[in-house]
Amino acid sequence: MSKNDVLIQVNQLYKIFGENTNEALELVKNNMGKDELLEKCNCVLGLNNINLDINKAKIQVVMGLSGSGKSTLIRHLNRLIEPTSGEILVNNQDILSLSQKKLIQFRQNNMSMVFQKFALFPHKTVLQNVGYGLAVQNIPEKEWNEKAEKWINRVGLDGYETYFPGQLSGGMQQRVGLARALATDAEILLMDEAFSALDPLIRSEMQNILLDLQNELHKTIIFITHDLDEALKIGDRIAILRDGSMVQDSDPQEIIMHPADDYVSDFIKDINRARVIQAKSIMTRTKVKSSGATVKEDMVLEDILQIMSDAPTKPVTIEDSKGKVTGKIEMDNLIEGMKRPKSQGTNITG
Amino acid sequence: MDWFFNFPDMSRSDLREFKKTVDFAFTDFSRSYGAEIEGFFEPLLMFLVWFEKFFINTPWPLIIFGILVLAWIGSRSIPVVIGTFLSFMLIGYFGMWEDTMSTLAIILVATFLCISIGIPLGIAMARNNKIQAVIVPVLDVMQTIPSFVYLIPVVMLLGIGKVPGLIAVCIYAIPPIVRLTNLGIRLVDKDVLEAADSFGANYWQKLFGVQMPLALPTIFAGVNQTIMMALAMVVIASMIGVKGLGLPVLRAISNQYLALGLMNGLAIVVLAIIFDRVTQKFGLRMQKYRSEGKD
C-alpha cells in the first residue's frame, strides 16, 4: 500500500476521562497502566497511544471486548469525543483544528454514522429519518425527499416511508439507520457495533447488504464489533484493542495465523479455522504446477479438504485470481494450518 | 445561663428599626418607580381588559360554540365535548356566566404569559447547569412561599387590580412549566442527540428538530399543571381585585353563604376538569408515534 491510499491517519491518540487529564497524560506516557491510573488520579484511561492508518475504500474493523475503547476511538473520528492529546488527519486535514462551524460542515459532508442502538428519531417517519442528514444541510425538501426515497429503496424498505421507527422490527430499523448514513453521500462511514443488537440471522443478512453496497459504493468504512466472525467476514483489515491500547492491526489472515499475543490468541481460539483460513496463508510457494486439482488462493481450507479427500496424496495447485500458479498445498499443510498457532500456550485439548 | 433558656434574640427596638427600614425602603421604591412599573404593565392591562370584554360581550351561543370546537380539536373525544357543553349550560343557567367568562379570560392570559416566559426559561436551564442551579431554588421559593406573602409587595407596588392579580397568579403557576420544560429536554435520549450531532446538526436544529418535539409531551404536562394552578389561585387573586368566580367565593366565606360558595367553587372545579381533559388528550395525541401499530 502506498501512502496515497491512506485516507484517515490517527497518530499518537490519547484519551483520558476525568479531571487533571494533563497530569494523568504524563503518567500514561511514562507507562502507567489503566488500573494504577484509576487508583492514583481517579482518571480512566480511554485510549493509549493509538496509531492507525485507514485505507481508502476499505473496511477497517476495530475489535475488542467491551471497555476496550473501541467506541471511544470511533467517536474521535468525528469528534463526538475530544481527545486528550494526539492527531487525526482525514485527507491530510487535521480535524482537531476545525472550528465548530467547520466541524459541523465536516460532519455533514464527509462522515456519517450508524449506531448500535439505531438512534433513530422516534418522532420522525422513516423518510424524514433517512433524509435527516440532508435536511440539516438546508437542502430543499423536494430534493432530499427524492434522495431519501432512493436509499430507502436501496436497503429494501420501499413502502415503509410513512412509518415511525417504533413500528418497525430491529432489523428494519437498522436498515433505516444504514440508509440515513448513506443518504448524505459521505465518503466515510462509521459503524459503531451497527449489527450487534440484531439476532444472528438478521445480522448475517445485514452484513451481506453492507458487503453488496460496498462492492458498489467503495466507501471507507470503520466498523466496530466485538464479534470475530463478523470481523473476519467483512473486514479488509482488523485492528484489535485492549484496555485502550492497540494490540494488533493487520490483515485478517495474519491475525489468525500469527496472533500478536495471548489476548489475541484467546480471541481467535473459538473460531472454526477450516472455514476461515485461506489457501494463500498456508501454501508452500512455488511456480510449478502440482499433480492434484487446481484451486484459487482465497479458497478456505474446508473446501480444499473436500477436494483433497478424493486424492489425499496429490498436492493441490494454488493459483491467484489471474490464473497464475503461486503455490501448492499438501495434506500435511492442511493439518498444520488447522492447528492453533503456538503462542496460544500449552493447554491444547481435543 | 439566661441565654440557654431564652433565645438571645435581637432587641425589640432593633427589630422594629429593621422592619421599619425594610418597609420604608420598599415604600420609597414603589413611590419613585411605581408609576414606571405600572406603565410597563399598561399594555398587559389593556390586553387583559380587552380580552375579558371580548368574552363577556360576545353572545353566549357563539362562545359555547367556540369552546366546543376547541375542545374537539384538543381532545377528539365526543364525551369530552358533550361534557363541556353540559357544564357550560349549567354554569350559565345558575347565573355564573359573566364571572366564568372573567375567570376564563384571566386564566388564558396567565397561561399564555407563563408559557411564553416559562418555556424559554426551561430551555435555558436545560442548556446550562449554572442557570439551572440559579433558577431551581427560585422556583422552590415561588412554589412554597404562602401566596399572601408575595401579595403584599405586589399590592404595594401596583395597588389593587387586574394586573397585580395576574402577576400573583403567574408567580404561583409558572414553576411547573419551567421545571417540566427543563426536565423534558434533559430526558431526551442521549443516543438520539449523538446521532443528530454526528450528522452535523447545529444547536438550533437540535433544539427545534429533536429536543423540543421529543420533550413536547412532558412540556405539555407542564402546561396542564400551570393551568390547574392558575385556576387554584383564582380565589386568592380575587382578594386583590380580580373579578370572576373567586369574588363570590370570597363573599360566601365572609357571610357564610353555603350555596353561593358551593356553586362558584364547583364552577371552578368544572373549568379545571375541562381544561385538564382537553389538554391531556391533546398531549397524548402528540405522542402518537410511540404507539405500536400504524393507524
A319 Cβ contact partners less than 8 Å away, ≥ 6 residues apart: A294, A295, A296, A297, A325, A326
Entry pTM: 0.84
**B117 within a domain of the structure (yes/no):** yes
d(CA A194, CA B152): 62
Strands A85-90 vs A6-17: parallel, antiparallel or unpaired: antiparallel
Note the maximum CA span of chain B: 79
Q: By C-alpha distance, which of B102, B100, B78 is closest to B89?
A: B100
pLDDT at B6: 87
Count of domains for chain B = 1
CB A120 within 8 A of CB A176: yes
A294 by DSSP, 3-state: which? strand
pLDDT at A276: 86
Place of cell 425527499: A145
The DSSP 8-state label assigned to residue A87 in this structure reads: E
CATH of the domain at B75: 1.10.3720.10
Place of cell 485510549: A47
Q: Helices B258-286 and B78-93 sit at what angle, rounded to 10 degrees?
A: 160
d(CA A144, CA B199): 14
Contact A121 B210 (CB under 8 A): yes
Q: Is B214 on the interface with A (CB under 8 A)?
A: yes
pLDDT at B120: 96
d(CA A93, CA A106): 11
pLDDT, mean of each 10-residue run, chain B (295 residues): 86 92 91 87 91 93 94 91 95 94 93 95 95 96 88 86 90 95 95 95 94 92 93 88 90 92 93 91 78 46
Other CB atoms within a 10 A radius of the CB of residue B184 amount to 23
pLDDT at A185: 92
Q: Half-sphere exposure of B232 toward its Cβ, with a 13 Å CA cutoff?
A: 13
**B10 within a domain of the structure (yes/no):** no
The answer to ipTM > 0.90 is: no
**B1 within a domain of the structure (yes/no):** no
Helix then strand then coil, % of chain A, to nearest 5: 40, 25, 35
Contact A121 B202 (CB under 8 A): no
- CATH T-level topology, domain A56-75+97-110+186-268: Rossmann fold (3.40.50)
The residue extents of the domains of chain A are 56-75+97-110+186-268, 276-344
DSSP H helices, A238-286, are 252-257, 262-268, 273-276, 279-282
CB A197 within 8 A of CB A148: no
pLDDT at A289: 86
Give the residue ranges of chain A where pLDDT is below 70.
1-4, 341-350
Sign of the C-alpha dihedral computed for residues A163, A164, A168 and A174 taken in this order? positive
**B171 within a domain of the structure (yes/no):** yes
pLDDT at B294: 41
Which CATH code is given to the segment(s) A276-344?
3.90.1280.20
**B96 within a domain of the structure (yes/no):** yes
Task: Give B206's contacts in chain A (Cβ within 8 Å).
Answer: none
> Between vectors from CA B275 to CA B274 and to CA B277, what angle results, nearest 5°?
65
Task: Give A311 to chain B, closest Cα distance, Å.
Answer: 56
Contact B200 A136 (CB under 8 A): yes
pLDDT at A3: 55
**B4 within a domain of the structure (yes/no):** no
d(CA A60, CA A241): 13
Over the stretch B210-258, which tens digit does the pLDDT of each residue have?
999 999 989 999 999 999 999 988 888 898 888 899 999 999 999 999 9
- Angstrom CA distances, A301 to A147, A202, A244, stand at 43, 27, 34
pLDDT at B219: 92
pLDDT at A348: 41
DSSP H helices, chain A, are 21-29, 34-41, 70-77, 100-109, 126-130, 132-135, 141-154, 170-183, 200-217, 228-234, 252-257, 262-268, 273-276, 279-282, 301-308, 331-338
Over the stretch B168-193, which tens digit does the pLDDT of each residue have?
999 999 999 999 999 999 999 999 99
Find, in chain A, the residue whose alpha carbon is nearest to that of B216: A123
Task: Give B209's contacts in chain A (Cβ within 8 Å).
Answer: 135-136
Sign of the C-alpha dihedral computed for residues A277, A283, A287 and A291 taken in this order? negative
CB A299 within 8 A of CB A278: yes
Find, in chain B, the residue whose alpha carbon is nearest to that of A136: B201
Domain holding B241, by residue range, is: 33-288
pLDDT at B86: 95
**B8 within a domain of the structure (yes/no):** no
Task: Give B287 to chain A, closest Cα distance, Å.
Answer: 8
pLDDT at A337: 85
**B174 within a domain of the structure (yes/no):** yes
Nearest CB neighbour to A115, from listed B191, B209, B293: B191
- Angstrom CA distances, A16 to A21, A64, A225, B72, stand at 6, 18, 22, 56
